[in-house]
Each structure stands twice: as structure tokens, then as C-alpha cells.
């Protein structure tokens, strides 16, 4: 009897093993695995795939050996572990990671190779922590400099954002970690982000806001995408049929899984029919609020299963969603080629530092006050560092991108390593620790005392390095709220101005994800903007200030002289932040530099601007057509005295057409290698002809106007070194 039972069990096991071969066979074609697995699942098992089972996981099918999906916030590093079903930290001792620079900093490098290195390195940390989906990167357009979340994105230009996000995604997904590109789409402000309805022309939608997402889908084959909280055409973007099924899945042919933002799902029938595949965070506000509901109560849980059971929604809808989730599982958690990864490796710190160094932008360098000499040849011997950001960890705060780091190298520590006892420090101001939606009261007496101490210390200095800017407090660079002013906070403008009166040798260093007003600019000798530099913040900044690294970063956004110069401001509250939960993008396609260049508005610093410690000369550009591409060539020569890199940018001026066109549109760029003094490099920049197109709203298609196109080759949008024309028939 016992032998018969064992034999029967072995035969059953063998039959089950043979039966399960296809979907468990990693060498089988992906679609065969998906189809096979789907055929073995019950309706309830399919439903379970479609919604969360914890704060950051969605279910697999344990009965069939199909693994769950583990997600976590990015895109600058792996968020610390949380408890299974709360927003409380799990208090692990082994979840400290490398904080990589913000994506605005990455965009400022204009370096596609560094972007791929970023994706590779950060995904190795996700893989090591057992994560399958990295919630990022983000490519929402920086329409307003007040956007609290702009530091997570890649600037104001869709071409630059698209070109930089593609290698990031490729680098990450090659390791078996899915990117979850966000926030799809029009999540361009944090004010009223859960409910605002965005009114935008079809042309601006296609040319500006959808374009970087489209590149990520068509060129990088991104595995997952996160829907946004806001509405478009009166429907939430997390289950917007026209957006998700119509454009993303059918028109673009995308085969991945659409994940809701946490708390972004609001309706069962819309979620069922509107293109959502995985519902996360329902009944929370995405940050801190808890829910009394269970995960099976989600819109795509029991309510959706009931619709299927009653025949109100066809089984084909459920199967299509489940197939997309299975496809994601087989690409990630059940991908045998997924890397083991590593955490806090020196290689990762090296990538972090390199991105920071190349993303730092030198904006002013009067009388070549920078670079500072090494200590043994130091020109200044009493260096006063002022500013809270010299010591503050800028990896903390900001919302879901907050990180728990193994080490944070601060600017003050790094400068002390360079200049030892020559360095003294005075905070000058303080900001409190107002995280998420909490607002700290600032003690005016304490603020005045810190300012007075800094001004007194300045009297005995021969150089001041002010290190301030924005931080990740509420209503600064922080999720769930926008900045309230274009000025620097905490009295920094007044402090900088008064310091400059005492000591003319003053260098201002700012951190932050957004442009800001600079009423003191004419009074300071040097200005450096750093974005957020991550774990290697101090080393990256010190290497640039001391000339170990020649700065090569260039702005991915326009710095306006005053807030009123941004294009949407002239249209009042309807254009931003909206009236009665309706916001109208009345500037249409003229976002950022497109407005400044077309309307001849002089910015404080133009898009693409950045100085170097050396100088470059451009040769006369040439252009030829080759098949479906235009090849632009130019030679760059280092005419200065130190080695450095230059970024060559190509802006298109289109012939007259049936619709208004921007005076200039970025259509190509390339970064040189490190050029020694006197060395030259010839760059070949390939521009697909379809990049010259505009979106025709009448015919609902892209069109290229026949005629002569001018390609402006230069160092930034306003500094054109040469022009070349091409005829397109």
C-alpha cells in the first residue's frame, strides 16, 4: 500500500512537472510562457495578480510557482524597507544604500553613456535587495519652476529627456529589473495633484508631454509605466481609456504593465476597461495615510472579480491584464538572467561621483575666481563656508524618493579634507526639518543670531563659499506640494547680499531641482549650481571647485531673470495652479526655452548654458542627408589651458508651415571626450528626419513640412557658433 502511494505520488509529480514545463522553462519564448501560465490559472488567481498584497508587492501564483513582484521607490536609489502593511520603517540594519544624483543632475550631464551607467548601477542595488520593479525614472516636463517634484525629472525639453531616459532604462532592464516610467502623463505640478484636470492641446500633448514617454516605449522598451494622479479630459490618468488603451497600448504597441500611482485608482469600471493592469496603494494618499480596507477590497480585487463572474466585463479583459503582469514577472522575478547585484560597492560610489561632477553647472566665474588652487598653492588662507547645505544631508526628505544612505559626504567635510585649518564654518540660517506635509515654524530670533554670526565671521575671511539653495522640506523640492516663491527660502537672498558687501571674493554654491531668482548675482564672483548630488556630494563638489574636474554640465532648464518671464504666468491662475481643479496649458507648445527664444525674452541663464575652466572653438558645421537621417558634423577644439569636455547642441529652425513653430527646437547633441589643450574632436550628430515633424491636429498625424531647415549648432540655445541648411522634400 505504501509503495503504491509513493509510486502514484511520483507519477503525479512527474506529470505535473511535464505539464508545467512551458511556463517554467526560461528558454521558452516569452509569449508561450505567458499563454501557458494563463491557461492554468483560475479566475481568482488572475485577479490576485492585478492588485497589491502589501504596500510594495503584488501577488504571484504560489500554486504554480509563479513569483510575486517586489517593487520599491526610486529613481535615485532603493528606498529603505517598510513594514509589510504600514508606512513605518522596518528598521532593517542592512538596507542602507548609495544615493545617486537627482535626475535633473543626470540630465545636466548631457551624457548618454553616464545615463546608462546610472541605470546599471542603481538597478544592481535594486536587484541585490530582491526588487523586481524600480519606481522610476521620471520624465515629466518642468513646465513651472515651482514644481515640488521637478528634481526627479529631466528638465523642460522633451528631446533631451527622451534621449537621456532611454539609456537609463536599457542599463537597468538589462539586469532584469523593470523600470516603471512615471508619471504618465501631465503630472507637472504637485498642487492639487490628486484631482486637477489638465486641459492641453493635442499638439502640445504629443510634441511636449508625451514625447519622452514615447521614446522610452519605442526605443528602450520600458517594461512598466506608472499612471499619474491627475486627470486628462476629465478622467484619471491611471485608468484613462484614450490615453492608456488608445495611445500607449494600441498606437505605440506597448506590451508592458501599467501600474497605478499609490492611491491613483478611483473607480472599478474605469479601472477594468481603462487600461490599468496593477493597482497599488488604494485608499491611501500615497505617503502616510492608512486604510481600514483589505487588499481584496481594491477596485481590481473583489469588485472586478464580481463584474467578471456576472459577465458585465468579458474574460478577455481580465486575460489581457493578467498576461501583461505575467510578462513582467517572466522578465524580472522569474528571469534566470537577472543579476544578483551589489549594494554600496565602490563602483557604485564611483558612478555616483562621476555623474555629480559632470552634472554640476558653472554659471558665473568672474576674474577666474575658480578653480581654487590646491592647499599647497592656496591663494586664500581664511576660507569661510556659510550655509546650511554645507552640512545638511540632502538625501533626506522630498517624499517617496527619500533615501537611507550608508554614507553621506558633505561639502564641508570634503572642503576640510582639501584645506584643513584654512576652513571655518558658520550656518548663517536654518530651515528646520519640515518633511512631507508638515510645516516647521522658524524661530526669527535664532535666524537673526545665525545671520549675525556669519556676517561677523565674514569680516576676517579672505574668501567666502556660500553653500545653500533649496532643500527637500515641504514646499521646497518635495512631493505633494509646490514651492510658494521663486526666491531662495530662509532669508538667503538677504544673507548673500550682505556677505557680498563685506567680502567681494564670494562664491555661491546652490543645491536644488529648480531655477530661482538671483537679485545678488552681480555682486558675487562665482556661481555654481549642483542640483542634488547624492552620497558623493562633497567629493563631487570639491573636485569641481578645486579644479580636479573641469565642469562640463549644462542646464536642462531655463533660469528666468524673474518669475513673471515664464510663459504660463501671463495667463494667470487658470494656467497655474488652476481654478476649481482645472488647469489650462495656454502657452501650448511654447514651454521653457521655446517661449524665451521665440518671444525674444532674455533669460538669466539660457537652456543649455554652462561654463568651463577652458575655452572651445567650433569649426564650420556641415550637414548631409543619409537615408532617413541628417548627419551634422562639426569640429570642436580646446583653445584654453586645461583639459575639458564640451557639449555641442543642434537646434532646428523650421520653414514656415501651417502652424506656429518655435524659433528653435533641440534636435541633437553630443558631448566630446576629454580634450587636452589644443586637441580637437569631430562630432557626428545624427538627426532622424522624423524629429523635424510637428503634430497635425486636423489629420491626427505627424507631418514634416517641405522646405529649408536651418540647423543651429552651438554651446547653448542662445550661443550659436554656426548654421547649416538642409532641404527636405
Weakest-pLDDT range from 90-99, 198-207, 425-434, 590-599: 425-434
- For the stretch 681-729, pLDDT in tens is 999 999 999 999 999 999 999 999 999 999 999 999 999 999 999 999 8
Cell of 661: 513653430
Confidence of residue 441 (pLDDT cuts 50, 70, 90): confident
- For the stretch 501-519, pLDDT in tens is 999 999 999 999 999 999 9
Cell of 378: 592656496
Three-class secondary structure of residue 106 per DSSP: helix
- Is 438 a residue whose pLDDT tops 80? no
Relative to beta strand 629-638, strand 616-618 is antiparallel
Place of cell 591663494: 379
Helices (DSSP H) in 178-223: which residue ranges? Answer: 202-204, 211-220
Compute the CA torsion angle 616, 620, 626, 628 (nearest 10 deg): 70
Nearest to 188 by CA among 663, 576, 677, 687: 576
Cell of 366: 568672474
Cell of 507: 562664491
What value does the mean pLDDT take over residues 548-554?
98
- Is 611 a residue whose pLDDT tops 80? yes
pLDDT score at 16: 46
Nearest to 144 by CA among 198, 73, 212: 198
- For the stretch 146-186, pLDDT in tens is 999 999 999 999 999 999 999 999 999 999 999 999 999 99
Q: How far is CA 575 from CA 51, 204, 497, 580, 583, in A?
A: 35, 14, 33, 12, 5
Q: pLDDT above 70 covers what percent of the chain?
A: 96
> Hey, CA dihedral for 407, 412, 418, 419, is it positive or negative?
negative
Question: From CA 668, how far away is CA 691, in angstroms rounded?
Answer: 9
Q: How far is CA 286 from CA 149, 235, 261, 401, in A?
A: 14, 19, 7, 12
Contact present, 243 and 185 (Cβ < 8 Å): yes
User: Exposed/middle/buried for 519, CB within 10 Å: 0-12, 13-18, 19+?
Assistant: middle
User: Exposed/middle/buried for 300, CB within 10 Å: 0-12, 13-18, 19+?
Assistant: buried
Cell of 391: 552640512
pLDDT score at 12: 42
Which is catalytic among the residues 36, 132, 157, 261?
261
Distance separating the N- and C-terminal Cα atoms of the chain: 85
Q: Could you say which DSSP state residue 471 is in?
A: -
pLDDT score at 13: 43
User: Exposed/middle/buried for 553, CB within 10 Å: 0-12, 13-18, 19+?
Assistant: buried
Q: What's the alpha-carbon Rg for the chain, to the nearest Å? A: 27
- CATH number for 346-557 (one of 3.40.50.1700, 3.20.20.70, 1.10.357.10, 3.20.20.150): it is 3.40.50.1700
Q: Give the residue extent of every domain in the chain.
A: 41-331, 346-557, 613-728
Contact present, 703 and 664 (Cβ < 8 Å): no
Confidence of residue 377 (pLDDT cuts 50, 70, 90): confident
Question: From CA 457, how far away is CA 169, in angstroms rounded?
Answer: 48
Question: From CA 459, how far away is CA 451, in angstroms rounded?
Answer: 13
Write b or e for each residue in 455-483: b if 16 or more Cβ atoms lie within 10 A of its Cβ, otherwise e: bebbeebebbbbbbbbbbbbbbbbbbbbb
Nearest to 590 by CA among 663, 497, 533: 663
Confidence of residue 15 (pLDDT cuts 50, 70, 90): very low
pLDDT score at 546: 96
- Is 1 a residue whose pLDDT tops 50? no
Q: Do domains 41-331 and 613-728 have the same CATH topology?
A: no
- For the stretch 259-303, pLDDT in tens is 999 999 999 999 999 999 999 999 887 666 767 788 999 999 999
DSSP output for 313-380: S-HHHHHHHHHHHHHHHHHTTT-TT-----SS-HHHHHHHHHHHHHH-EEEEEGGG--SPPPGGG-S-
- Is 557 a residue whose pLDDT tops 60? yes
More confident residue, 397 or 179: 179
- For the stretch 42-89, pLDDT in tens is 999 999 999 999 999 999 999 999 999 999 998 999 999 999 998 899
pLDDT score at 374: 81
pLDDT score at 274: 98
Helices (DSSP H) in 20-53: which residue ranges? Answer: 21-24, 30-39, 43-48
Cell of 667: 534636435
> Which residues are within 8 A (CB) of 528 and not within 5 positions of it... i.e. 6 or more apart?
360, 361, 362, 363, 370, 507, 508, 509, 510, 541, 544, 545, 551
Helix 112-128 and helix 346-359, axial crossing angle in degrees, nearest 10: 150
**How large is the greatest C-alpha to C-alpha distance in the chain, in angstroms?**
98
Nearest to 683 by CA among 725, 631, 607, 612: 631
Nearest to 171 by CA among 318, 351, 402: 351
Helices (DSSP H) in 518-576: which residue ranges? Answer: 537-545
| Annotated catalytic residue 261 | yes
Residues in the chain: 729
Cell of 57: 508587492
- For the stretch 80-121, pLDDT in tens is 999 999 889 999 999 999 999 999 999 999 999 999 999 999
Place of cell 498584497: 53
For residue 665, list its beta bridge partners.
Answer: 652
Confidence of residue 435 (pLDDT cuts 50, 70, 90): low
Confidence of residue 39 (pLDDT cuts 50, 70, 90): very high
Place of cell 505633494: 480
SS (H, E, C) 590-625: CCCHHHHHHCCCCCCECCCCCECCCCEEECCCEEEE
Q: Which fold has domain 613-728?
A: Immunoglobulin-like (2.60.40)
- For the stretch 222-264, pLDDT in tens is 999 999 999 999 999 999 999 999 999 999 999 999 999 999 9
Question: From CA 647, how far away is CA 164, in angstroms rounded?
Answer: 14
Question: From CA 239, how far away is CA 282, in angstroms rounded?
Answer: 13
- Is 643 a residue whose pLDDT tops 60? yes
Nearest to 496 by CA among 515, 457, 471, 523: 523
Write b or e for each residue in 53-73: b if 16 or more Cβ atoms lie within 10 A of its Cβ, otherwise e: bbbbbbbbbeeeebebbbbbb
- CATH number for 41-331 (one of 3.20.20.70, 3.20.20.300, 3.40.50.300, 2.30.30.90): it is 3.20.20.300
- Is 190 a residue whose pLDDT tops 90? yes
pLDDT score at 434: 67
- Is 551 a residue whose pLDDT tops 60? yes
- Is 344 a residue whose pLDDT tops 70? yes
Relative to beta strand 231-232, strand 235-236 is antiparallel
This prediction's pTM: 0.96
Nearest to 55 by CA among 280, 277, 232, 300: 280
For residue 426, list its beta bridge partners.
Answer: 386
Q: pLDDT above 90 covers what percent of the chain?
A: 91
Question: From CA 43, how far away is CA 545, in angstroms rounded?
Answer: 61
Cα angle for residues 466, 472, 476 (degrees, 5° grid): 85
Write b or e for each residue in 569-593: b if 16 or more Cβ atoms lie within 10 A of its Cβ, otherwise e: beeeebbbbbeeeebbbbbbbbbbb
pLDDT score at 225: 99
Contact present, 658 and 629 (Cβ < 8 Å): no
Amino acid at each position: 500500500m505504501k509503495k503504491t502511494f509513493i509510486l502514484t505520488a511520483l507519477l503525479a509529480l512527474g506529470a505535473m512537472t511535464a505539464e508545467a514545463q512551458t511556463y517554467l522553462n526560461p528558454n521558452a519564448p516569452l509569449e508561450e510562457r505567458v499563454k501557458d501560465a494563463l491557461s492554468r490559472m483560475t479566475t481568482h488567481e488572475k485577479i490576485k495578480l492585478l492588485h497589491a498584497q502589501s504596500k510594495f508587492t503584488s501577488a504571484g501564483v504560489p500554486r504554480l510557482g509563479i513569483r510575486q513582484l517586489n517593487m520599491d521607490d526610486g529613481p535615485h536609489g532603493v528606498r529603505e524597507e517598510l513594514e509589510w502593511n504600514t508606512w513605518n520603517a522596518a528598521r532593517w540594519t542592512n538596507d542602507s544604500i548609495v544615493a545617486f544624483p537627482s535626475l535633473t543632475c543626470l540630465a545636466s550631464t548631457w551624457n548618454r553613456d553616464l545615463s546608462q551607467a546610472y541605470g546599471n548601477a542603481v538597478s544592481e542595488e535594486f536587484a541585490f535587495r530582491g526588487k523586481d520593479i524600480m519606481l522610476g525614472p521620471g520624465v515629466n516636463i518642468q513646465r513651472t519652476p515651482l514644481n515640488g517634484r521637478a528634481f526627479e525629472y529631466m528638465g523642460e525639453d522633451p528631446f533631451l529627456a527622451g534621449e537621456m531616459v532611454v539609456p537609463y532604462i536599457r542599463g537597468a532592464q538589462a539586469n532584469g529589473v523593470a523600470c516603471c516610467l512615471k508619471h504618465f502623463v501631465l503630472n507637472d505640478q504637485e498642487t492639487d495633484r490628486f484631482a486637477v484636470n489638465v486641459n492641453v492641446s493635442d499638439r502640445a500633448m504629443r510634441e511636449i508631454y508625451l514625447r519622452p514617454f514615447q521614446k522610452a516605449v519605442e526605443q528602450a522598451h520600458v517594461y512598466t509605466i506608472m499612471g499619474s494622479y491627475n486627470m486628462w479630459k476629465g478622467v484619471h490618468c491611471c485608468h484613462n481609456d484614450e490615453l492608456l488603451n488608445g495611445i500607449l497600448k494600441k498606437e505605440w504597441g506597448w506590451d508592458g504593465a501599467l501600474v497605478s500611482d499609490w492611491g491613483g485608482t478611483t473607480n472599478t469600471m474605469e479601472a477594468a476597461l481603462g487600461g490599468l493592469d496593477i493597482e497599488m496603494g488604494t485608499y491611501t494618499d500615497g505617503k502616510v495615510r492608512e486604510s481600514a480596507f483589505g487588499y481584496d477590497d481594491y477596485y481590481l480585487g473583489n469588485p472586478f472579480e464580481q463584474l467578471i463572474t456576472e459577465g458585465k466585463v468579458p474574460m478577455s479583459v481580465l486575460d489581457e491584464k493578467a498576461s501583461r503582469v505575467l510578462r513582467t514577472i517572466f522578465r524580472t522575478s522569474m528571469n534566470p538572467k537577472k543579476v544578483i547585484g551589489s549594494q554600496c560597492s565602490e563602483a557604485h560610489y564611483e558612478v555616483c561621483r562621476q555623474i555629480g561632477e559632470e552634472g554640476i553647472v558653472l554659471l558665473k566665474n568672474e576674474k577666474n575666481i575658480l578653480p581654487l588652487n590646491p592647499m599647497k598653492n592656496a591663494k586664500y588662507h581664511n576660507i569661510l563656508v556659510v550655509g546650511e547645505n554645507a552640512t545638511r544631508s540632502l538625501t533626506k526628505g522630498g517624499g517617496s524618493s527619500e533615501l537611507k544612505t550608508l554614507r553621506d559626504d558633505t561639502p564641508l567635510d570634503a572642503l576640510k579634507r582639501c584645506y584643513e585649518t584654512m576652513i571655518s564654518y558658520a550656518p548663517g540660517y536654518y530651515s528646520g526639518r519640515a518633511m512631507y506635509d508638515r510645516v516647521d515654524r522658524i524661530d526669527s530670533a535664532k535666524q537673526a543670531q545665525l545671520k549675525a554670526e556669519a556676517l561677523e565671521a565674514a569680516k576676517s575671511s579672505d574668501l567666502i563659499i556660500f553653500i545653500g539653495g533649496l532643500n527637500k522640506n515641504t514646499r521646497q523640492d518635495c512631493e505633494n506640494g509646490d514651492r510658494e516663491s521663486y526666491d531662495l527660502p530662509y532669508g538667503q537672498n538677504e544673507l548673500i547680499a550682505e556677505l557680498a558687501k563685506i567680502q567681494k571674493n564670494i562664491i555661491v554654491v546652490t543645491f536644488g531641482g529648480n531655477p530661482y531668482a538671483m537679485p545678488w548675482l552681480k555682486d558675487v564672483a562665482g556661481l555654481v549650481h549642483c542640483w542634488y548630488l547624492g552620497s558623493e556630494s562633497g567629493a563631487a563638489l570639491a573636485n569641481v571647485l578645486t579644479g580636479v574636474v573641469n565642469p562640463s554640465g549644462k542646464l536642462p532648464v531655463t533660469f528666468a531673470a524673474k518669475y513673471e518671464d515664464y510663459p504660463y504666468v501671463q495667463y494667470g491662475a487658470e494656467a497655474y495652479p488652476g481654478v476649481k481643479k482645472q488647469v489650462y496649458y495656454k502657452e501650448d507648445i511654447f514651454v521653457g526655452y521655446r517661449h524665451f527664444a521665440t518671444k525674444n525674452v532674455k533669460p538669466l541663464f539660457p537652456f543649455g548654458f554652462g561654463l568651463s575652466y577652458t575655452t572651445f572653438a567650433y569649426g564650420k558645421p556641415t550637414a548631409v542627408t543619409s537615408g532617413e537621417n541628417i548627419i551634422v558634423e562639426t569640429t570642436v577644439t580646446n583653445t584654453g589651458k586645461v583639459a575639458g569636455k564640451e557639449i555641442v547642441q543642434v537646434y532646428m529652425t523650421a520653414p514656415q508651415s501651417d502652424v506656429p513653430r518655435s524659433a528653435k527646437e533641440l534636435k541633437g547633441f553630443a558631448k566630446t571626450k576629454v580634450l587636452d589643450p589644443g586637441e580637437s574632436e569631430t562630432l557626428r550628430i545624427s538627426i532622424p528626419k522624423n524629429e523635424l515633424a510637428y503634430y497635425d491636429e486636423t489629420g491626427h498625424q505627424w507631418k514634416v513640412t517641405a522646405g529649408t531647415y536651418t540647423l543651429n549648432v552651438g554651446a547653448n540655445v542662445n550661443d550659436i557658433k554656426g548654421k547649416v541648411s538642409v532641404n527636405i522634400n
